Amino acid sequence: MEKVEEKKVVEEKKEEKKVVEQKVEQKKIEEKKPVKKEFDPNQLSFLPKEVAPPRQENNKGLDNQTRRDIDELYGEEFGDLGTAEKDFIRNNLRDIGRITQKYLEYPQVAAYLGQDGTNAVEFYLHPNGDITDLKIIIGSEYKMLDDNTLKTIQIAYKDYPRPKTKTLIRIRVRYYLGGN
């Protein structure tokens, strides 16, 4: 018993030593100073270089799921939205999904029939908290699940954060039975 524990302690110390060595090596790499290039007049060019357009960093700081949802559900249309709408979506889409999830109940008959899937809805969220034009934009293949999503949104929207301007909201709702 003691030999097994001693082996574990020795292995743990070896692992700690490896981690420390990796950190030291990484620090050495970071400490290397950039090499200055010598000026070469033959490398001068007065022709404009082809420059890639600056990458939009507006999505910086977004979690991967929100970024993916914006890309997949809004696509290029996201660029057509106003600044206030984009900011609201970036800052609140995840919360709207979580609030919806809190109210979501799996329809018993759908669960019994083994129905699962993902759908997506869109609606306009207004500054007074109302929603309009609620509809399924990607069906789950099961009417029962799609109808349940619409019903859930009609209950949950009262708790959604309110935008400063009428904002198009698109969210995905997933029904998963698990166990497989």
Maximum separation of any 2 CA atoms in the chain, in Å: 77
| Residue 28 three-state SS | helix
DSSP 69-115: HIIIIITTHHHHS-HHHHHHHHHHHHHHHHHHHHH----HHHHHTT-
Per-domain residue ranges of the chain: 81-175
CATH for the stretch 81-175 = 3.30.1150.10
Q: Which residues pair with 168 in a beta bridge?
A: 124
Neighbouring residues of 165: CB distance < 8 A, sequence distance ≥ 6: 82, 84, 85, 88, 127
Q: Which residues pair with 15 in a beta bridge?
A: none
Give the strand order in the sheet containing 131-138.
131-138, 117-125, 167-175
Q: Is the pLDDT score of 47 beyond 60? A: no
pLDDT at 64: 85
Return the higher-pLDDT residue of 86 and 25.
86
Q: Residue 65: pLDDT band by 50, 70, 90 thresholds?
A: confident
